[in-house]
Amino acid sequence: MPQQTLHLHATDTGLDRAAQLLKDGALVALPTETVYGLGADARNGTAVAAIYTAKGRPSFNPLIVHLAAPDDAKKYVVWNASAQALARAFWPGPLTLVLPLFSDHGLSSLVTAGLPTVALRVPAHPTAHRLLTAFGGPVAAPSANPSGQISPTTAGHVLEGLSGRIAAVLDDGPCTVGVESTIIGFDGSTPVLLREGGITCEQITDLLGQAPAAPQGSNITAPGQLASHYAPRGNVRLNAQAPHEGEHMLGFGAVDGVLNLSPDGDLAEAAANLFEYFHRLDALGGAIAVAPIPQMGLGRAINDRLARAAAPRG
Ligand code: TXA
Ligand code: MG
């Protein structure tokens, strides 16, 4: 049923309203440093079910649970030494850890899609932190876009995709990181890189003294990492030096285009601009050609998202 979506701001009044809506079991889109999330009380099965409905998301896809403080994680999951090191280094921040659940965790089983593990993250965004603290519980939040579409990095993107389908969006401007969190799971105690993201593989390797394992050959997987994802409407062609007829060019560094992710070749700037520029080029209609992005640092997360955007549509 269509509903009026409130456009709230990061004031005391806006935060109180957003926290109350979450307590009432309603859906609130909230800013994080990576992308806007579509939040619901992670203990309330009806509220979590509404996330899947609003996004039109396949129900086998588990959600990330957002917490106000690193210590809150110990209420839900069995901790290990690598998780401790990663959390100490990168929480609050754009890192998600997938760990085995305690039996009396109290989270809705819809959050985990029935898996024995849960994905946890402590966001660094001050407004996300204030909302999580005011709400006082775990918040399940996938990216706040209709399933399969481009992730939102502004409240405007959220409203474009979900207006009328959620109770409110809490607006605090554009997201600074711009790509989703890095997801690390564990095969026993061995860290496994399930999704490239805002914390780079190099940062993790420096901290742990070895690179995280690749998911292939491990007995854990990242369900929901569908090949075709983050898709603009038009066709996407990668590693382009110049546009073909009918294409809009997304540049990087010296390879220029209608828009340039970072004329200086700065990968952090490119990540922050990625989804906003996809939204803008998509609005022009037609196909999109994308300049090569170096496969290092945040470039790995950018290339992962670009590969999904360019994948054949299922
Ligand atoms: O930056 C982010 O991570 C954003 C913001 C809102 O926090 N959230 C986000 O959520 O990207 P979402 O739902 O779009 O992606 C969650 C991914 C799923 O696709 C799935 O691959 C993985 O997290 N995941 C969740 N629970 C898991 C589990 N128990 N085991 C393995 N992977 C899991
Ligand atoms: Mg998503």
Domain boundaries, the chain: 6-208, 236-310
Q: Is the CB of 224 under 6 A from ligand 1?
A: yes
Provide the pairing of β-strand 95-100 with 117-121.
Answer: antiparallel
* Matching residue, tokens 């001050």: 126
Instruction: Tell me whether domains 6-208 and 236-310 share a fold.
Output: no
Beta carbons of 61 and 115 less than 8 angstroms apart: no
Q: Is the CB of 235 under 6 A from ligand 1?
A: no
Q: Is the CB of 262 under 6 A from ligand 1?
A: no
Give the CATH architecture of domain 6-208.
Alpha-Beta Complex (3.90)
Fold classification of 236-310 (topology level) = Rossmann fold (3.40.50)
Per-position DSSP letters for 55-99, written without gaps between them: HT--TT---EEE-SSGGGGGGTB---HHHHHHHHHH-SSSEEEEE
Would you state the structure tokens that stand for residue 195, as one six-digit string?
Answer: 């999704």
For 290, the 3-state DSSP assignment is: strand
**Distance separating alpha carbons of residues 121 and 199, to the nearest angstrom:** 12
pTM of the prediction? Answer: 0.91
User: Which residue, judged by its Cα, is nearest atom 30 of ligand 1?
Assistant: 222
**Distance separating alpha carbons of residues 106 and 108, to the nearest angstrom:** 7
pLDDT tens string for the chain (314 positions)? 578 999 999 999 999 999 999 999 999 999 999 999 999 999 998 999 899 899 987 666 889 999 999 999 999 999 999 999 999 999 999 999 999 999 889 999 889 887 899 999 999 999 999 999 999 999 999 999 998 889 999 999 999 999 999 999 999 999 999 999 999 999 988 999 999 999 999 999 999 999 999 887 545 555 555 555 667 888 999 999 999 999 999 999 999 999 999 999 999 999 999 989 998 998 999 899 999 999 999 999 999 999 988 988 75
Ligand 1 centroid distance, CA of 97 (Å): 10
Ligand 1 centroid distance, CA of 57 (Å): 12
Q: Which atom of ligand 1 is nearest to the CA of 112?
A: 29
